Amino acid sequence: MARVATMGGARAALAHGMTDVAIRAKAFGGTPVLGPVAFSIAAGEVVAILGPSGIGKSTLLRIVAGIDRDYEGEVTRPDRLAMVFQEPVLLPWRSARDNLRLVHPGLSESDAEAALDRVGLGDKAAAFPGQLSLGQQRRLALARAFAGRPELLILDEPFVSLDAATAEAMLALTESLIAEARPATLLVTHSETEAARLATRILRLSGRPATLAGDATPGQGGTNETGEGHGRA
Amino acid sequence: MSNDARGTTALSLAALVGLWVIAALLTADAQILPAPWDLVAPFVQELRSGALLHHLGATLGRVAAAFVLAMGIGVALGLLMGRSARADRWLDPWLVVFLNLPALVVIVLCYLWIGLTEVAAILAVSLNKIPNVATLLREGARALSPDLDAMARVYAMPARTRLRHVILPQLAPYVAGAARSGVALIWKIVLVVEFLGRSNGIGFQIHMYFQLFDVAMVLVYALSFIAVMLAVEWRVLQPWEARVRRWRTA
């Protein structure tokens, strides 16, 4: 995809559900956390953000997701968003089925059952989240994210604090769900292997305040997007 | 409730009645403290004449009206103050003033300013309870999960769904606490309001029999209403709480 990394180019692409991030600065109480950070994600693309813990990865995600609105810059995102948080963040007082249907009012009973089936929770529709294991709760969170047919999917370290086997199963499930739905995906992780496996493009966050330091495209030669973060800064 | 717990409750209540019987026997004056069985005849007489049910109904109506008003306004205020630091700064001094305003002052002022009307009575009771509910619910609103907030925002949940399925379930323990202490406080204040300025209700009857020095009748009316409130607690509040808490024990 030969796309010129300018604001004008990104804007034009927005018509097709593009995500365009152009943050100038973000500070917490006078302490700068993020410097200029700019990138775009096209539909079907999986962008991974790597960086040491505490660098501001989650802060960046919360800005992209629209949770944190106190920053300088502009973020344009499609309407249908989904996010998988570090914790499952379910409604513990509602059943697994209702956890999907309350968040996605358009979902029919059978759609919800199918979505649960897809993540291996077909027999848990009536269970409360507290009756599920952590791995099952994570899969429910994943089902919730994909049930809304998101145009932009945000994953915030979705595989942390899982044992190796469960994490691998979750990773494989996420991989196939992304391949089916092909949303624009933004993944934050500190694991190189996770990033290499899921991402079509890897961005690295470093420095203080943090900026995008580099850009590699695993698996598919070079693109002309290398250094985009600097180009727009 | 298990059989064992039921047994303990029954035994404990029996001990209270036993204490009453002993005190009545020691007093040996039905004018001052009648024994439990001395209340049966006046109770049946009041029930037959319809007076007991009439006054019980009037009081229950006022309790219900004041309860709904106080809970509605109190929950809304508490939610607002817990969620918005600005609203909290503005409203907190008011809360402190109203929390420390004696119930009697509010009642007397309402009657003086509005008149001896039903509106004044119910308003006076509600005003006494609202700051209490608001204080409790403010704590609940401060404890709301920021993660669930973020989730609801990302998935653009409609405001009504968010309130009913995300926010209110988190506040349920605080609402239950406020409702529990609310019912107890409200019916006591309703009696004072009736005592001072209504022409029906348990409080009005107690006022009348107080002037006649009829201890038996005072006890008949008071105990009847206690029985009704216990029934509300056991048949309405506790089942509701159990239903709301089902997910915790599932």
Pick from B154, B166, B168 the residue to mutate for testing the A interface (most A CBs within 10 Å): B154
Scanning the structure block, which residue is given the tokens 């997701």? A65
User: Does residue A11 contact residue A233 with C-beta atoms inside 8 Å?
Assistant: no
Contacts of A94 in chain B (CB under 8 A): 165, 169, 247
> What's residue A96's pLDDT?
93
Nearest residue in chain A measured CA to CA from B145:
A89
> Three-class SS string for B117-161?
CHHHHHHHHHHHHHHHHHHHHHHHHHCCCHHHHHHHHHCCCCHHH
Contacts of B151 in chain A (CB under 8 A): 83, 85, 89, 103
Nearest residue in chain B measured CA to CA from A77:
B154
Pick from A99, A103, A153, A155 the residue to mutate for testing the B interface (most B CBs within 10 Å): A103
> What's residue A226's pLDDT?
40
SS3 state of residue A112: helix
User: Does residue A128 contact residue B244 with C-beta atoms inside 8 Å?
Assistant: no
How open is the CA angle B193-B195-B197, to the nearest 5 degrees? 65
Which residues, other chains included, contact B82 with Cβ-Cβ below 8 Å and sequence gap of 6+?
A: B88, B137, B138, B139, B140, B141, B142, B144
Q: Does position B55 have pLDDT exceeding 60, yes or no?
A: yes
Question: How many other CB atoms are there within 10 angstroms of residue A112's CB atom?
Answer: 22
ipTM of the complex: 0.79
Please, what is the average pLDDT of chain A? Answer: 82
Q: Does position B99 have pLDDT exceeding 60, yes or no?
A: yes
Nearest residue in chain B measured CA to CA from A103:
B157
Indicate the pLDDT class of residue A79, thresholds 50, 70 and 90.
confident
Percent of the residues in chain A that have a pLDDT greater than 70, as a whole number: 84
d(CA A30, CA A25): 11
Please, what is the average pLDDT of chain B? Answer: 91
pTM of the model: 0.75
User: Does residue A181 contact residue A150 with C-beta atoms inside 8 Å?
Assistant: yes
Indicate the pLDDT class of residue A216, thresholds 50, 70 and 90.
low
- Intra-chain end-to-end CA distance of chain B, in Å: 17
d(CA B113, CA B123): 12
Would you call B153 an interface residue with chain A, using a CB distance cutoff of 8 Å? yes
- Shortest Cα–Cα distance, A140 to chain B (Å): 14
What confidence tens digit (pLDDT) does each residue in A99-155 have? 999 999 888 889 999 999 988 898 999 999 999 998 899 999 999 999 988 999 999
Print burial letters for B212-250: b (CB count within 10 Å at least 16), e (below 16): eebbbbbbbbbebbeebbeebeeeeeeeebeebeebeee
> What's residue A164's pLDDT?
83
Contacts of A85 in chain B (CB under 8 A): 147, 150-151
User: Does residue A211 contact residue A233 with C-beta atoms inside 8 Å?
Assistant: yes
Indicate the pLDDT class of residue B136, thresholds 50, 70 and 90.
very high
- Shortest Cα–Cα distance, B158 to chain A (Å): 9
